[in-house]
């Protein structure tokens, strides 16, 4: 009897261990940089901006913030149950390049002489649950900033990426290396979230003006040592006069979209290069070679 109980307990313990192992905390999916008063984050593919104003909370100072961000007066949000009052509003921007962006703003005051503003920028639709989770995380762990000060070692999905000295940041988790490719990525708690943000980016590329998608296919790749599939798009700019084409000098852009679970989190990654980039014998430029290879 005891043996059976022990076996039952062991199976239950293994099951629970497996369940808990699947849990990914939001803090593991947040990356950002900033200085004393201005901070930028990527939170599960959502761009977040936070600004700290060293002023008292009053109508005059609030109006200055409204004017700076071109938002109407915010209203008190009774749904947020933290130990401070929040003012919120949502602004839906007009469609541009085939998609609608949604911006939501939160203003709150945790201490005298300081106002904080948080701006979320969504593609297509707002995610209130993500907003609440991130704000709670920010209040509880305000030191979750990673300052990007060196290109000698980049944190790519919890791995040090070496040899990026000639590269530059185009945004949070958005790295460009002239003539050697570009990639942007976001970290997610679930595969569903990672795939959803990638699907939105593919949709934007398909509908984007200034060029056209001339080919689209699924290709087998090895991404961070994981066998998986990527969506490959070739976007053609031939005959198009645009700032992007003028800066790059290229005529078409090859883009790979991939989602995979890597080192405990789900990564959504976009990797691209111009036709006039330096392509190695692998068929990819140097930056992309660091994280992915095309299966033969």
Alpha helix (H) residue ranges in 22-84: 59-69
Answer whether residue 252 shows pLDDT above 60.
yes
- Are residues 50 and 172 in contact, defined by beta-carbon separation less than 8 angstroms? no
Over residues 69-97, the pLDDT tens digits come to 888 777 765 555 444 566 777 777 666 66
- Nearest CA to 157 out of 73, 264, 48, 238 is that of 264
Sign of the dihedral through C-alpha 192, 198, 202, 208: positive
Answer whether residue 21 shows pLDDT above 50.
no
Q: What is the pLDDT of residue 62?
A: 86
Answer whether residue 2 shows pLDDT above 50.
no
- Are residues 261 and 28 in contact, defined by beta-carbon separation less than 8 angstroms? no
Over residues 171-229, the pLDDT tens digits come to 889 999 999 999 999 999 999 999 999 999 998 888 877 788 899 999 999 999 999 99
SS3 of residue 155 by DSSP? strand
- Alpha-carbon gap, residue 121 to 92, rounded angstroms: 10
- Alpha-carbon gap, residue 2 to 90, rounded angstroms: 60
- Alpha-carbon gap, residue 78 to 86, rounded angstroms: 8
- Are residues 82 and 13 in contact, defined by beta-carbon separation less than 8 angstroms? no
- Nearest CA to 26 out of 190, 211, 221 is that of 190
Query: For residue 263, is it left (φ>0), alpha (ψ between -120 and 50) or beta?
Result: left
């Amino acid at each position: 009897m005891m043996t059976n109980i022990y076996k039952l307990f062991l199976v239950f313990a293994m099951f629970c261990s497996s369940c808990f192992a699947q849990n990914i905390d939001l803090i593991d999916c947040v990356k950002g940089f900033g200085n004393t008063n201005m901070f930028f984050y990527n939170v599960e593919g959502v761009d977040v901006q936070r600004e700290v104003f060293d002023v008292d909370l009053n109508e005059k100072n609030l109006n200055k913030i409204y004017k700076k961000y071109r938002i109407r007066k915010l209203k008190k949000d009774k749904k947020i149950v933290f130990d401070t009052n929040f003012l919120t509003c949502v602004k839906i921007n007009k469609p541009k390049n085939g998609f609608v962006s949604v911006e939501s703003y939160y203003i709150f005051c945790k201490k005298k002489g300081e106002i904080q503003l948080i701006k979320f920028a969504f593609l297509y639709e707002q995610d209130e649950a993500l907003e609440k989770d991130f704000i709670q995380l920010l209040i509880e762990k305000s030191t979750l900033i990673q300052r990007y000060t060196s290109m000698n070692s980049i944190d790519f999905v919890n791995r040090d990426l070496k040899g990026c000295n000639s590269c530059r940041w185009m945004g949070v988790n958005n790295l460009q290396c002239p003539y050697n490719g570009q990639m942007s990525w976001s970290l997610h708690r679930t595969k569903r979230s990672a795939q959803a943000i990638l699907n939105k980016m593919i949709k934007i590329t398909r509908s984007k003006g200034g060029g056209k998608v001339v080919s689209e296919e699924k290709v087998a790749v090895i991404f961070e040592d994981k066998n998986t599939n990527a969506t490959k798009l070739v976007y053609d700019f031939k005959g198009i006069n645009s700032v992007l084409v003028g800066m790059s000098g290229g005529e078409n852009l090859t883009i790979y979209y991939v989602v995979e679970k890597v080192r405990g989190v789900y990564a959504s990654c976009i990797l691209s290069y111009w036709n006039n980039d330096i392509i190695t014998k692998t068929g990819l430029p140097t930056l992309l070679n660091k994280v992915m290879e095309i299966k033969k």
